[in-house]
Amino acid sequence: MDFPTTAAAARLLQPELAARVIAEDAHGAIRVVAGADASTLRFDPTRTVHAAMVGLDAQTLAPLGEAGATRSGGLPYVPGLLGFREVPALAEAFARLPARPDLILVDGHGLAHPRGLGVACLLGVSLDVPTIGVAKSLLVGSVEGDLADTAGAEAPLVWKGQVIGLALRTRRGANPIYISIGHRISLPTARAWVLALGRGRRLPEPTRLAHEAATRVRLAARPAAG
């Protein structure tokens, strides 16, 4: 898709794209999973985004390759429009992956977004690929009820009377992560995949590896000193 080049255009497009999100299971067999993350500096005058995707075997978590992309001159940092800033570079990295993923775990929110279109939703709708939002902090909403200090404990994330995701404790003693639908997947299925891909860590393996890969892309793009 053609991504908007101004914040005003992005805001106008948000409702249309949010209406395209499929918030139920609409996927085939999941054999390849990927993690997606982007590395940016909020006030970078060049508006550069360094993105990475890492592909893994869905059952064994064996690596199947990774790809990165760096793009400059996109949207500035605008709260609520982060997806439009990051997704063009993420889509470019996706196109370079050696194995097409059946599911992408995105470091960021999906439906748990003020306009129902977090980066996971925008990426999923843009690529027409199932996606899950996996965030480390809250953007909107509040956690209802108690969240037990046990692996697998969950509590609904509610905003304006609607469940928009869930807080999930992936291991005892760890801070929860916040799971939300991205595209073509239900919330129970998203929860199951996040737990299955955890390897006993707080973050699922695909997004953990994607974060490391995005950092490498950023460091590799730095001009040499001297």
* Residue 198 vs residues 112, 123, 190, 193: alpha-carbon distances, Å: 21, 22, 12, 9
Q: Please give the pLDDT value at position 223.
A: 67
pLDDT in the model for residue 222: 77
| Over residues 6-20, mean pLDDT | 97
pLDDT of residue 61: 97
Write down the pLDDT at residue 109: 98
Are 83 and 119 in contact, with CB atoms under 8 Å apart?
yes
Distance CA 150, CA 129 (A): 32
Tens digits of residue pLDDT in 136-164:
999 999 999 999 999 999 999 999 999 99
What local confidence, expressed as pLDDT, does residue 30 receive?
Answer: 98
What 3 state SS string does the chain have? CCCCCCHHHHHHHHHHHHCCCCCCCCCCCCCEEEEEEEEECCCCCCCCEEEEEEEEECCCCCEEEEEEEEECCCCCCCCCCHHHHHHHHHHHHHHHCCCCCCEEEEECCCCCCCCCCCHHHHHHHHHCCCEEEEECCCCCCEECCCCCCCCCCEEEEEECCEEEEEEECCCCCCCCEEEEEEECCCHHHHHHHHHHCCCCCCCCHHHHHHHHHHHHHHHHHCCCCC
pLDDT class of 174 with cuts at 50, 70, 90: very high
Q: What is the pLDDT of residues 86-119, one digit of tens each?
A: 999 999 999 999 999 999 999 999 999 999 999 9
pLDDT tens-digit readout, 125-142: 999 999 999 999 999 999
The CA–CA distances, whole Å, from 21 to 18, 30, 87, 88, 140 equal 6, 19, 15, 18, 18
- Give me the pLDDT at residue 28, please: 97
Say whether pLDDT at 225 is over 80.
no
User: Global pTM?
Assistant: 0.96
**Percent of the chain whose predicted confidence (pLDDT) is above 70:** 98
